[in-house]
Chains A and B, each alone.
Chain A
Amino acid sequence: MGNRKNKHFVVENQIGELSSLAGKIEKLAEQWGLSPAIAMNINLVVEEALTNVIFYAFADNDKHEIEITVSLENKRLTIKIEDDGIPFNPLEKEQPDINLPAEERPVGGLGIFLMSQVMDEMHYNRQRNHNILTLNKNI
């Protein structure tokens, strides 16, 4: 039987939430025996996903909950981020041209690309008026 580990976080759509969340993820990674590099990858994915959601997903000024689930099963790491914002499929976002010189590189637009690069797979689903972004990595 699998030794599936699972951790669920719920944060509000406030950018300040990132700081305490980062510490919690580092602690979790340590408890699960993951390397600092993997901890950094998890934090990177969570930060990039959360900043997108917090800055762009909500047209109102209301409080929203964003759910983050990190799980590990047989060396397969899964990060799931779920929000009730406007439909947004990050997989449809145009990839940046990483070969441009500094003068021509546009500022920004790297977040989703970084997420996709540090993980092996990225999936998007729209269900029950929620965006569900799932990323996997074999570690």
Chain B
Amino acid sequence: MNIKKEKIGNFAILKIKGRIDTINSTVLEGVVNQLFDSGEKNLIFNCSGMNYISSSGLRVFLVTQKKAIPLNGKLYLCNMQPAIQEIFRISGFSNLFKIFETQEEALEN
């Protein structure tokens, strides 16, 4: 997994590439926690390069949402590959996040 951070307007953008699995999911969690600690509350996960997620990865997204809600933060996902979208759908996670086709659409919301 590779994570690229970017700031556009009020959003911190995390561009994730590769796999999120049991071995590296805590790395992503650490990056997200740092962002919250530094005062960010609006996050966009650009998942264009993310080609694998397991329950450990889903866990990080849920924990992030649980932190963002009381902050009235925005947590958006975009550019998800179909196989990843399917995992979000079957786990009911599609209903827990706003998911956009493109990063531009996410930024407008």
Q: Which residues of A contact B (CB under 8 A)?
A: 15-16, 18-19, 22, 36-37, 40, 43-44, 47-48, 51, 96, 98-103, 105, 107-108, 110-111, 113-114, 117-118
Contact of B55 among A15, A43, A103, A111 (CB under 8 A): A111
With CB as the reference atom, state the residue of chain B lying closest to A47.
B54
State how many angstroms separate the Cβ of B53 from the closest Cβ of chain A. 8
* B66/A40 in contact, CB under 8 A: no
Question: What are 5 A-B contacts defined by CB distance under 8 Å?
Answer: A22-B19, A37-B86, A40-B52, A105-B62, A107-B59
Q: How large is the interface on B (under 10, 10 to 19, 20 to 34, 35 or more residues)?
A: 20 to 34
| CB <8 Å contact, B66 and A114 | no
Q: Which residues of B contact A47 (CB under 8 A)?
A: 21-22, 54
Q: Chain A nearest CB: distance from B5 CB in Å?
A: 23
In the complex, A113 Cα to B22 Cα: how many Å? 16
Q: How far is the CA of A116 from the CA of B61 in the complex (A)?
A: 21
Q: Are B83 and A51 in touch, CB under 8 angstroms? A: no
Highest count of chain B CB atoms <10 Å: which of A40, A43, A96:
A40
Q: How far, in whole Å, are A105 and B54 apart by their CA atoms in the complex?
A: 17
